[in-house]
Amino acid sequence: MRSPDSCWLVSGPRWTGGSTPLPGRAGVLVLGAGVMGSTLAYWLARAGHAPLVLDRNDSPAEGSSGRNAGRVIQGGNAQHAPAIERFGHGQALAVYRATLVNRDLVREVTAREGIEAHRTTTAKLDLTDSEDEALELKRTADALSADGIAAEWLDLPGARRVFGTDLPDTVLGGLHRPDQDAVHSVGYVRGIADAARRHGATFSLGVTATSLERTEEGAWRVGTDAGEVLADQVVVALNAWTGRLLPELDARITPVRGQLVQTAPVPFRIPQWGLDRGLVYGGQNQDGSLLLGGLRTTVPNRDENIELPADANTPAFSPELADRLATALPALLPETAGVPVVRAWSGVMAFTPDRCPLVGAMPGRPGLWVMAAFSGHGMPYSQVVAHQLAERIGGGAGAGLPAAFDPARFR
């Protein structure tokens, strides 16, 4: 089952958009061709800009965006009820509604750009085997329903009916939310990147940004291993590596290693699911194979504050944790007993102290923007934050960006 690459990178379409030699000047320069950078380039290009996208890899989605679980689920890092308690009802609802808008934009864009084959509709079932989490999920079901959002608490028999296969008797039930999405991560991101290119974006790939400074004339000078670029505006969308160009954010971004395993295809269908407040999670690919990730609680420091590799997209995966995930699967899903695990890989997430991302203008640095640290929830925000940030870069309000994401909150 050992593999250095994710199932998405192995099975996804090759990048056929090519690469343009690095120009010396750009209006808007986007650093990073993952889901955030590629989607931002798409919306900028549709708005009439001609963004330049740089990435150290030879194709989009080679980094974290190509190594996740492909989950376009709704809600932020915390469940809705505790999010209301922490941030207040208005902010919590703004975050949740942003993910609803994101789901709709994913469907709109994949249909318009001919990449619907990389998206599927599913549901989400947050399971629990603890009484305190069950109470939290019940309160969340009530809070979501009060806000007009479809959600319900299901006891174990109801959860089994929705799940589509057996669940162990230790499960108390789960929070069920219909109308979620999942994507083939690499197919989706490369499809968005190719659409951005068709609309007028330029991609210079295999180029590593090494420095960033403001010129006396007010432009931004970006040093790379292929030469310098001057840009009127720069967006740093480098996930956990953001602090290398924006050191003032380094202390606010914690790099975290995540790991996933993939099984052989199974004959039943299940929704996206989570357990233990999302520290164990899974889903199913279009080919019927299952994904299982998490169990960071079983390793020292939960795999947080890892050392980022200098010249690689992800640290090596832990064979021990991969084995634990493979062993845990039949205990969580009894009908998977005997189903082989065929692949294992790792990826890097970036967490902030409050588990809200950093999206917006860098305080006191005109023309400099950031999209980073989505705390394991990049896909659920990818379209909406890119769409709204593109509006702000063009001089608009971008009012759909939740205030909780403002980088200025950490000043």
pLDDT, tens only, 220-262: 999 999 999 999 999 999 999 999 999 999 999 999 999 999 9
Tell how far CA 245 is from the center of its chain. 21
Residue type, 191: G
Residue 295 to residue 302: CA distance in whole angstroms: 8
Residue 303 lies in a domain: no
pTM over 0.95: yes
2 occurs within a structural domain: no
Residue 195 lies in a domain: yes
* DSSP state, residue 86: H
List pLDDT tens digits, range 146-175: 999 999 999 999 999 999 999 999 999 999
In a domain, 267, yes or no: no
Instruction: Report residues of the chain scoring pLDDT below 50.
Output: none
- Those residues whose C-beta lies under 8 Å from the C-beta of residue 133, and which sit 6 or more positions away, are 276, 277
Q: Is residue 369 part of a domain?
A: yes
Long-range contacts of 57-60 (CB under 8 A, 24+ apart): 57/33, 57/205, 57/206, 57/313, 58/15, 58/19, 58/205, 58/206, 59/14, 59/15, 59/33, 59/190, 59/205, 60/15, 60/33, 60/34, 60/189, 60/190, 60/193, 60/203, 60/205
Q: Say how many C-beta atoms besides its own lie within 10 A of residue 2's C-beta.
A: 10
Does residue 133 fall inside a structural domain?
no
The number of folded domains in the chain is 1
3-state DSSP call for residue 127?
strand
Please name the residues in contact with 235: beta carbons below 8 A apart, sequence gap of 6 or more: 28, 29, 30, 31, 37, 40, 369, 370, 371, 389, 393
What is the model's pLDDT at position 203?
98
| Distance, CA of 60 to CA of 53 (rounded, Å) | 10
In a domain, 7, yes or no: no
Structural domain span for residue 234? 21-67+186-252+354-410
**Does 129 map to a domain?**
no
CATH of the domain at 218: 3.50.50.60
Residue carrying structure tokens 């959600």: 151
The pLDDT value recorded for residue 411 is 84
Q: For residue 133, give the H/E element and its range.
A: helix 131-146
> What is the pLDDT at residue 2?
52
